[in-house]
Structure 1
Amino acid sequence: MWRELASEFPDVELQGPADPDALTAVEEQLGQTLPGPLRELLLETDGIEADFGTETVWTAEKILEENSSFRSNEQFRSLYMPFDALMFFGDNGGGDQFAFVRTPDRDEIFVWDHETDSRTWVAPSLENYLRSALGSDGDDWYR
């Protein structure tokens, strides 16, 4: 399903499927389950790259790396609200990042604005997020 959806858009690069063990490692190390739709997508393609290298959906490895970094960065703790309730999974190529809320579990997508530390609802589902992000002409389609 996810590969077919992404292939509707030009210039989208898909990867091979993520290793299920990598997904388990993400969940264990972050202490949160992957949202069902994100898990399904990663099992079909380990990331989706759009125009100009924008990582609309990160690889499982990058999801783990970025979330771990955000949660452990001492400087971020003094600058931003906590990130523990979020699971970042993609970005706009300009610094803003997209996330699922994991506490409480929600399937909606939010954007974190790196300049203001705001967290704003942008899509009711991963499918809607992908259609909006991949079908847009710019990196700030959600504003």
Structure 2
Amino acid sequence: MWRELAMEFTDVELHDPAIAASLSDIEERLGQPIPLPLRALLTETDGIAAQYGTEFIWTSERILTENLDFRRSEQLKALYMPFDSLMFFGDNGGGDQFAFVRTPERDDVFVWDHETDSRTWISPSLERFLRDALASGGDDWYRQ
């Protein structure tokens, strides 16, 4: 389903599926389950990049690395509210990060604005998010 959805758009880069061990590693090390839609997507393609290399969906390795970095950085802890309730999974290429809220578990997609530390609802589902993001061509479509 996810590969077919992504291929509806031009200039989309897909990858081989993520391996199950990498998904388990994310859940174990972050202490949170991967949202089911994101897990399903990663089992079809380990990330989705669009025009100009914008990684709307990161690889499983980057999901783990970025989330650990956000949660462990003393510099970020001093500047921003805690990130433990979020699971970042992609970005806009300009510093804003896309995330699911994991405490409480929600399937909605939010954007974290790196300039204001705001966490704003942008989509009711990963599918709607991906369609909107890929149709936008990479601009900040979620600000409209």
**TM-score when normalising by structure 2:** 0.98
Residue 138 of structure 1: CA displacement?
3.9
Specify the SS of the correspondent of 1:4. Answer: helix
Contact kept? 1:94, 1:139, Cα under 8 Å? no
**RMSD (Å), alpha carbons:** 0.5
Could you list the structure 1 runs, at least 4 aligned residues long, displaced by more than 4 angstroms after superposition.
Answer: none
Provide the rounded CA distance (Å) in 2 between the counterparts of 1:76 and 1:137: 30
Provide the rounded CA distance (Å) in 2 between the counterparts of 1:139 and 1:117: 19
1:90 — aligned with what?
90
Question: In structure 2, what residue type is equivalent to 1:85?
Answer: S
Residue 96 of structure 1: CA displacement?
0.2
Specify the SS of the correspondent of 1:127. Answer: helix
Kindly indicate whether residue 28 of structure 2 is the aligned counterpart of residue 28 of structure 1.
yes
Question: In structure 2, what residue type is equivalent to 1:141?
Answer: W
Kindly indicate whether residue 52 of structure 2 is the aligned counterpart of residue 18 of structure 1.
no
Contact kept? 2:110, 2:119, Cα under 8 Å? yes
Gaps of 5+ in 2: none
1:80 — aligned with what?
80
1:63 — aligned with what?
63
Provide the rounded CA distance (Å) in 1 between the counterparts of 2:29 and 2:101: 17
2:126 — aligned with what?
126
Question: In structure 2, what residue type is equivalent to 1:6?
Answer: A
Provide the rounded CA distance (Å) in 1 between the counterparts of 2:57 and 2:138: 16
Provide the rounded CA distance (Å) in 1 between the counterparts of 2:99 and 2:56: 11
Question: In structure 2, what residue type is equivalent to 1:4?
Answer: E
Question: In structure 1, what residue type is equivalent to 2:40?
Answer: E
Aligned length: 143
Provide the rounded CA distance (Å) in 1 between the counterparts of 2:138 and 2:46: 23
Residue 137 of structure 1: CA displacement?
3.5
Specify the SS of the correspondent of 2:136. Answer: coil
The percentage of counterpart residues that share the same residue type is: 70
Specify the SS of the correspondent of 1:108. Answer: strand
Question: In structure 2, what residue type is equivalent to 1:99?
Answer: A
Contact kept? 1:91, 1:98, Cα under 8 Å? yes
